[in-house]
Amino acid sequence: MVKPMAVCLIALWVASGCQQEPSDFDPINPGKGPGQMVGNDGPLNTGPFAGVDQSMPQTRQVDPPDDASLPDCGEDCLDYCNSLDLQNPVNRGLCPSLWGVGLEPRPVQTAEACRRLFADMIGRFPTEQEVASVCKDRPWAEVVNDLMSRDEFVELNQRFWADRLLYNNEAVSVVRIFDADDLVGKLYRGEVPYDQFAAVVSAHPVLTRRYATAGDRAEALFWLLMGRPPLGSERSDLARLYNLWHNGYYDHPHLGERLPDAFIEYECVTDEGEVNSETKGACTSVLWGYNELILKPDMRAEEDGEVMWSGLLKDHEWEKLQLPGKILAGQSEFWEKAVDDVLEQYLGYDLGRMAPEVRNELVSHLLEHDADIRSVHFAVATSAAYLQSAQGQTDTRFRWTWGPLKQVHAETWLDTIEHTTGYELGDCDHRIPETRDLERSDRLGTIALLKNSRWPLEDDGDIDDGYRSLAQALGGCPRNDVGGRFRIVSILTTAQQLNFVNRICNPSFDGDLDGVDASMLLPPDIDPDVAVDRELAAKIVGYQTKKFFSRSASGSELDDARDHGEACSRQVCTAEEFARPACFALLSSSEMLFY
């Protein structure tokens, strides 16, 4: 039961106690929570990361293994790999399954590798100019360090964790979501070690308020940090450390809403507020040692001392509540899951399971760098497994002998089209996936929150929903209420993409479509009304291929363009009339959807 406002003001003044947000609300940086406690002392590692192999080793001259069984690296193979003195931990762990057994990776193609790096680290494909200025004739270590230093790298990984933590501001306070997002930002700026990050997340309202029971919270943490469901004994034991958490609502004075948030329900204490020796076992984990988690109530508590809003917790109480994450961080499985996540993020397959030596090397590498998760991103992104080409035929089924090939996320596809065509699309804000109630509000705090968010606003203050609607149809911008992000190729998604590309390129010159200006689709010196011939058609396709794919058009592609240009010229076809269908063909091709 919430106290009357007069009592609330007294409690806030005397003991910071009442279930209402303090008045220092900042709509630009609204986050409040345990994430503010950590990562305030600067980066764990200064300067660029090192540990790159300047050249790939020679393959050992032995008969390569067949596909019937995993490679068997014997004593001679191990001696060979040890003699190479490989600096990259992925390459070092991969050698017994690659060079040491007679297999070899594909060669690195600069434009292809650069395109992959931009998509995975920045969230869009690069332009031809970016391939030349960022990637060409530079060591890959410099390229990766450059991309990791950008704000887009942090923002992309914030979106990655928003998907994993299922941000939804109808289930969890938007203030707590912003705090969790800031915490993830600190992780990817190298200001928080991964084990400390995991500990804070384990007791963060974005996790505890998202689930209804202690057992569900324990299971969610296992999936998040260990990559598997807990065993029955693990679930019941860890759940005892989540018995204190309780779901409720509190009044936010600036947003004018009752926001969902986590509360503390004082368990395992007597009526006098002392530890109850008879019931404290219900608040104690014993599977990983003796771990007791009991908080004592004081004047901040509501409802006869039984419940307190988590916004009133003190720093030492937050730290105590992080016991579940600290326990799991003490397990080797926790660190293996951390590096497996990065491998999956970049490679698109489970190399840690296929070649466990890679996983072991990366865990050691991560710990040597003070649990700075960026060190693993750097190691994977500069490895032979990642940089090698995915093109061409292969004589083996061992997945690590050719490069990653993945489907783009919806936002990557949309942001690339926006960046290359200049067509303004908008954005999504993963921190505020549900906006309906906020758009209806007339409170200044709510208006300021939306105005300072990433959502594009129309003149009337409503959100421009075009980007979100298309992205959600393609699996992006998830609301995280029932389902989350997905990637799929289907009739529905293909139709959505074709309709959008048709709107952008307008190949039929439909007067109702607001397509991009012809100048964005033609080389700078070409007039839209000039007649097309074979060579001009090849020039247009060559220009668009560089613009959209960050590479030069192949000979066969240019020959096809010439043939189509000749056919078009028979009907007195202009440059624009040729360029718009060419735009449609390129932007709807598989090269825009897979990389």
**Confidence tier at 19 by pLDDT (50, 70, 90):** low
Provide mean pLDDT across the span 540-546.
96
**Same domain for 225 and 209?**
yes
Same domain for 293 and 231? yes
CB 521 within 8 A of CB 544: yes
Structural contact between residues 181 and 172, judged by C-beta atoms closer than 8 angstroms: no
More confident position, 20 or 267:
267
The answer to whether residue 26 sits within a structural domain is yes
What percentage of the chain's residues is helix, strand, coil (to nearest 5)? 50, 5, 45
Residues 325 and 337 in one domain: no
Confidence label for 274 from pLDDT (cuts 50, 70 and 90): very high
Tally of domains in the chain: 4
Residue 70 lies in a domain: no
For residues 320 and 450, membership in a common domain is answered with no
In single-letter form, the type of residue at position 241 comes to L
8 pLDDT exceeds 70? no
Confidence of residue 571 (pLDDT cuts 50, 70, 90): confident
Do residues 456 and 366 share a domain?
no
Give strand ranges (E) for 92-233. none
- Is residue 554 predicted with pLDDT exceeding 90? yes
Please check the confidence at residue 431 and state whether its pLDDT lies above 90: yes
Mean local confidence (pLDDT), 531-559? 95
pLDDT band, residue 305 (cuts 50/70/90): confident
Residues 167, 260, single domain; the answer is yes
Q: Are residues 254 and 157 in the same domain?
A: yes
Collect all residues with Cβ–Cβ distance below 8 Å to 100 and sequence separation of at least 6. Answer: 60, 73, 77, 78, 80, 81
Q: Is 397 within a domain?
A: yes
Is pLDDT above 50 for 18?
no
Query: What is the spatial distance between Cα 555 and Cα 174, in angstroms, rounded to a whole number?
Result: 53
pLDDT(13) > 50: no
- 312 lies in the same domain as 364: no
Asked whether residue 14 carries a pLDDT value surpassing 60, the answer given is no
The verdict on 238 and 120 lying in the same domain is: no
pLDDT-wise least confident of 28-37, 38-47, 120-129, 324-333: 38-47
Domain assignment of residue 480, yes or no: no
Q: What is the pLDDT of residue 15?
A: 36
Answer yes or no: do 270 and 122 share one domain: no
Is the pLDDT at 6 greater than 50, yes or no? Answer: no
pLDDT-based confidence at residue 293 (cuts at 50, 70, 90): very high
Q: Provide the percentage of residues in the chain whose pLDDT is more than 70.
A: 96
Q: What is the pLDDT of residue 394?
A: 81
Q: How far is CA 56 from CA 78, 334, 408, 413, in A?
A: 17, 31, 28, 32
6 vs 563: which has the higher pLDDT: 563
pLDDT 10s digits, 127-169: 999 999 999 999 999 999 999 999 999 999 999 999 999 999 9
Distances (CA, A) of 278 to 243, 268, 284, 295: 16, 8, 12, 16
Question: Does 522 map to a domain?
Answer: yes
Residue 454: the pLDDT is 96
pLDDT at residue 68 in the model: 82
Q: Alpha carbon 299 to chain centroid distance?
A: 41
The percentage of residues in the chain with a pLDDT greater than 90, rounded to a whole number, is 84
Round the average pLDDT of the chain to a whole number and report it: 92
Return the HEC string of 498-536.
Answer: HHHHHHHHCCCCCCCCCCCCHHHCCCCCCCCCCECCHHH
Kindly tell me if the per-residue pLDDT of 9 is higher than 70: no
Tell me the average pLDDT across 55-64: 92
Q: How far apart are CA 220 and CA 94, in angstroms?
A: 32
578 DSSP assignment: H
Q: Would 66 be classed as within a structural domain?
A: no
Least confident of 46-60, 69-83, 118-132: 46-60
Range of the domain at 305: 5-43+153-329
Q: Is residue 4 over pLDDT 70? A: no
Does 22 fall in a domain? yes
Q: Residue 23 — very low, low, confident or very high, per pLDDT cuts 50/70/90?
A: low
Q: 503: buried, middle or exposed (CB in 10 Å: 19+, 13-18, 0-12)?
A: middle
Q: Global pTM?
A: 0.93
Element (H, E) at 285: strand 284-285
Query: Tens digit of pLDDT for each residue in 329-352?
Result: 999 999 999 999 999 999 999 999
In tens, the pLDDT along 216-247 reads: 999 999 999 999 999 999 999 999 999 999 99
The more confidently predicted of residues 8 and 402 is 402
Residue 373 lies in a domain: yes
Domain termination residue (choose one: 455, 473, 491): 473
Indicate if 92 and 203 belong to the same structural domain.
no
The torsion angle over the Cα atoms of residues 89, 92, 98 and 101, rounded to 10 degrees, is -160
Residue 572 banded pLDDT, cuts 50, 70, 90: confident
* End position of a domain, from candidates 299, 329, 359: 329
Q: pLDDT, tens digit, for every residue of 350-365? A: 999 999 999 999 999 9
- Looking at the structure, tell me whether residues 364 and 416 fall in a common domain: no
